[in-house]
Structure 1
Amino acid sequence: MKNKQTHILLVEDNPLDVANILRAFKAQGIENPVHVAGTGKDALSMLLGTGNTNALVPTPKIILLDLNLPGMGGLDFLKALRQEESLKACSVFVMTASDTTKDVVEAYDLNVAGYLVKPIQYESLLEMISVLNSFWDLIELPN
């Protein structure tokens, strides 16, 4: 990614998926700071500084979001995120096992930057992260 200081928030409850995504980032040379939240509620707390959590500074500009989360699901997180004026500019990429048309449509209705279905094989995940990295190199993110 051209801006190595852009923070990324990974919202994923599966420790194996977290480990694989972080490993794929490393393999692709993505050195950006990555913060991990296991639930939508935890992610919102990290972004807003609510509860006993301090807000992440700087606010992550990129969010990788699983939809199948305990408690507050990914789509509910997206709805809450889009209601927060200070977080509307975050680029959210859904990265989930769900490929149902309903989930895809609802996610795009909530202004996601992309919807990716998680591959089962690590090699496919590596390719997916490579494509994301190329995309991130091309786009301009807000300050």
Structure 2
Amino acid sequence: MYNSNAKPITILMADDDEDDRILTQDALKESRVRNSLFCVEDGVELLEYLRREGKYSDEKKSPRPGLILLDLNMPRKDGREALKEIKADPELKNIPVVILTTSVQEEDKVKGYNLGAASYIAKPVNFEGLVELMKVLGRYWIEFVELPNE
């Protein structure tokens, strides 16, 4: 059912590819969905952000996300390891995680869902596809899904 009292959510994107992060930011703006997007470069930074460690200790500069977009193949700590830690943490496990990756391997899909991912999406191959994806994700997570209060 459509949620007429929908409020924009904070999206946290974990992706080591700077071009993908910039394109996603541009696509979100182009889609006219009013969500805030914050980005980190790998799984280590993702967990530091979520746990408010180091440079992410200021809640105003690093708000708790209502949704995480997670790439699987990142340095230091990949998305699979980060997802496993997020879903094992009682403070973080209720944050929905959408895997957004170039991997289309069946084993990655199965493992992602088994680890607790809410969705698994292959990255679109062009900007127009990314804009459409941001529109759909934005509408779905803002207008239809009812997330618990923090």
Does TM, normalized by the shorter one, top 0.5?
A: yes
Partner of 1:72: 77
- The one of 91, 112, 118 aligned to 1:113: 118
- 2:15 touches 2:41 (CA, 8 Å); kept in 1? yes
Return the TM-score normalized by structure 2: 0.88
SS of the residue corresponding to residue 38 of structure 2 reads: strand
Please give the root-mean-square deviation of Cα atoms over the aligned residues, in Å: 1.6
Indicate conservation of the 8 Å contact 1:24/1:129, yes or no: yes
Question: Which string of whole-angstrom CA distances, capped at 9 and with x for unpartnered residues, describes residues 75-109 of structure 1?
Answer: 00000111110101101100000010010000001
Q: What amino acid is the match of 1:70?
A: P
* 1:141 aligned partner: 147
For residues 92-107 of structure 1, what are the structure 2 equivalents within 5 Å?
92-107=97-112
User: Greater relative contact order: 1 or 2 (C-alpha under 8 angstroms, separation 6 or more)?
Assistant: 2
Q: Secondary structure at the match of 1:94?
A: strand
> Match for residue 47 of structure 2?
44
Per-residue deviation, 1:51: 4.2
Closer, same or farther: CA 52–124 of 1 in aligned 2, 3 Å: closer
> Match for 1:14 among 14, 17, 24?
17
Structure 1-normalised TM-score? 0.92
Aligned length: 142
Post-superposition shift, 1:134?
A: 2.4
Query: What's the % identity of the aligned pairs?
Result: 32
Aligned-partner Cα distance in 2 for 1:25–1:91: 18
Cα distance in 2 for partners of 1:95, 1:22 equals 14
How far apart, CA to CA, are the structure 2 residues paired with 1:76 and 1:132? 24
Query: Is the 2:99–2:120 contact (alpha carbons within 8 Å) kept by the matching residues of 1?
Result: yes
State the shift of 1:50 in Å: 2.7
2:32 is the alignment partner of 1:34: no
Q: 1:129 to 1:33 in 2, by over 3 A?
A: closer
Shift in Å, 1:30 = 2.1
- Is the contact between residue 33 and residue 139 of structure 2 (CA under 8 Å) also seen in structure 1? no
Dislocated runs of 4+, deviation >3 Å: 55-58
For residues 12 and 22 of structure 2, the distance between their equivalents in structure 1, rounded to whole angstroms, comes to 14
Query: Partner amino acid for 1:68?
Result: N
